[in-house]
Structure 1
Amino acid sequence: MGKVFGIVVLMGVPLSIIGSLLHWSYVLMFIIYCITIVGLASYMGRATESLAIVAGPRIGGLLNATFGNAVELIISIFALKAGLIGVVLASLTGSVLGNLLLVAGLSFFVGGLKYKQQTFNVFDARHNSGLLIFAVVVAFVIPEVFANTLSEEKTMTLSIGISIILIALYLAALFFKLVTHRGVYQHTENEGDAHHEEEPEWSRGKALLILALATAAVAYVSENLVHTFESVGESFGWTELFIGVIIVAIVGNAAEHASAIVMAYKNKMDIAVEIAVGSTLQIAMFVAPVLVIISLFYEQSMALVFTLPELISMVTAVFLTIAISNDGETNWFEGLTLLAAYLIMGIGFYLL
């Protein structure tokens, strides 16, 4: 599989540059850009997996989520610059749904086919549950409730205030997990033992270099990808909402999608869950607020106000994930349940 992605990157990056210079068909370039980003994301995933082996499951999962979300953050910044506010909000929604339902669902399902029962740190699961409810149910719903009675300017002020609070709490959560309470809630299983014996694919230096190069390449391809959205939407009859929720979210999070599933197949559920849920928290508590603040520097600022279908979908995904993962155990059927929920929501967004 690594060779396949290597060929994709070797062909995709030059074709992306040539196609953009020669003004090839927008639809063709959209396909090339998406495939290239997925190939580059795989390299980012392999690099972060190497770093995870050295650093441990929590930091490894955080690194994977961070660099996986870096792709989407880059795409979203260029979309903000182009004034595509609807696409950005939809892609944030898609990331939350994709991580909680698609990534976690596939991880639980694939891992469950190999193992009857898989376990992960129940204390982390419960800690994350509280943060998920705060980030999505509280911080995302409140602006929508007040937006109906506040002026546009005051709604933007409220969004900025909420964004600053979200970023502060996210940094506090990292400090809690990685510093003050690191090692306090140890997993009762010994599934991490094999993790320390495993050899990383690349050295720390090589992994960091590949991460830097892949991120730079993704930035270039993403900027060009954004300019194809309007033409592709018209060609296929896709709305901005569908492109953001499904297409951008899947392409932008390809790295962590693949990594979480591989980790689950290897029975490293602590890392798999940290990638899926940790990535969701990072999107909701860091990426979304940062985009709100960045949007202030562009002509059109972005308030943290989602549409009703987006909000209801995210809240439903949060409570379903909490109900399934709060016991620290999972199996293939629970994974299938999450996937079924994702498919139902996907059909809904396609038909909107």
Structure 2
Amino acid sequence: MAVLGLLPPTVLHYTHSEVHSGKSGLALSRFSSCVMLVAYACYIYFELTTSRRREESNQGRGENVGDADNNEAPDISKWEAIAWLAILTIWISVLSDYLVNAIDGASQAWNIPVAFISVILLPIVGNAAEHASAVMFAMKDKLDLSLGVAIGSSTQMSMFGIPFCVVIGWMMGQPMDLNFHLFETASLLMTVLVVAFLLQDGTSNCLKGLMLFLCYLIVAASFYVHSDQDPDGNNPAQN
């Protein structure tokens, strides 16, 4: 659904088929963002209610008896966790601002496209904790949790983060849309199709993991040779 929300604004822009040039794509992006936020809220509600029912069913059958992972007491209270979450959120927002401002300088100093830093390097470093958690869950033979961590982050960003920014920009009077340009949108479409085809049977093995890793290398190499573009999709280096 995230691809379905991102693809039409990009197609409208590059085919010049908007009813009102510069306005139809923006209106479609805002409408699609609202729909995606509603869909994400329904997804979260479904996941929470389903997991709760599953836990109640397991407790009724006594399947969680003797499970040390489920019987561990929390190290901190709820309010302490909320306080730490607020502090870390503020601190990360400050660091993120400095990080974003340093991307252009790093791109020029290392002679690396901004797109490669933003799409490949930053997610690897920024999501290192999630990557470690996914590996640990997989080593414990909890592949459902491992896939949830790996795919859940992408789902959260595409179905909530991006549409939320569009809606906030709409409220602030900023013309933010879902047009991520042709190359980026095509890359997203291809990666979603690859992951969907490899995981559609609900099984995993070393070959599938290797295929995903090799596909990621191809995507990384593609963004490394992809020149940066301005907001209109033009290449400044060719002007």
When the two structures are superposed, what TM-score results if normalisation uses the length of structure 2?
0.79
**1:273 maps to amino acid:** L
User: Do residues 333 (structure 1) and 233 (structure 2) align?
Assistant: no
User: Do residues 183 (structure 1) and 50 (structure 2) align?
Assistant: no
Aligned to 1:102: none
Aligned to 1:302: 176
CA contact (8 A) 1:191 1:267 kept: no
CA contact (8 A) 1:191 1:268 kept: no
Aligned to 1:154: 24
User: Do residues 210 (structure 1) and 84 (structure 2) align?
Assistant: yes
**Equivalent runs, 1:1-352 vs 2, <5 Å:** 134-136=1-3, 138-147=4-13, 148-150=16-18, 151-179=21-49, 183=53, 193=67, 195-198=69-72, 202=76, 204-296=78-170, 301-352=175-226
Larger Rg: 2
Instruction: Flag structure 1 segments of 5+ consecutive residues without an equivalent.
Output: 1-133
RMSD of aligned Cα (Å): 2.7
Percent of aligned pairs sharing the same letter? 33
Relative contact order higher in (CA < 8 Å, ≥ 6 apart): 1
Once residues 224 and 75 of structure 2 are traced to their aligned partners in structure 1, the CA distance between those partners, rounded to angstroms, is: 40
Once residues 135 and 208 of structure 1 are traced to their aligned partners in structure 2, the CA distance between those partners, rounded to angstroms, is: 30
Change (3 A) 1:258 1:209: farther
Counting helix residues as a fraction of each chain, which structure ranks higher? 1
Instruction: Provide the aligned length of Structure 1 versus Structure 2.
Output: 216
Once residues 71 and 202 of structure 2 are traced to their aligned partners in structure 1, the CA distance between those partners, rounded to angstroms, is: 24
1:183 Cα deviation from its structure 2 partner = 3.3
* SS of residue paired to 1:149: coil
CA contact (8 A) 1:143 1:158 kept: yes
State the Cα deviation string for residues 119-159 of structure 1 (Å, max 9, x = none): xxxxxxxxxxxxxxx222x1111111222322112211111
CA contact (8 A) 2:166 2:178 kept: yes
Change (3 A) 1:253 1:181: closer
1:216 Cα deviation from its structure 2 partner = 1.7
1:170 Cα deviation from its structure 2 partner = 0.9
**1:146 maps to amino acid:** L
1:295 Cα deviation from its structure 2 partner = 2.6
Instruction: Flag structure 2 segments of 5+ consecutive residues without an equivalent.
Output: 227-239
Once residues 197 and 185 of structure 2 are traced to their aligned partners in structure 1, the CA distance between those partners, rounded to angstroms, is: 19
CA contact (8 A) 2:64 2:70 kept: no
1:178 Cα deviation from its structure 2 partner = 2.0
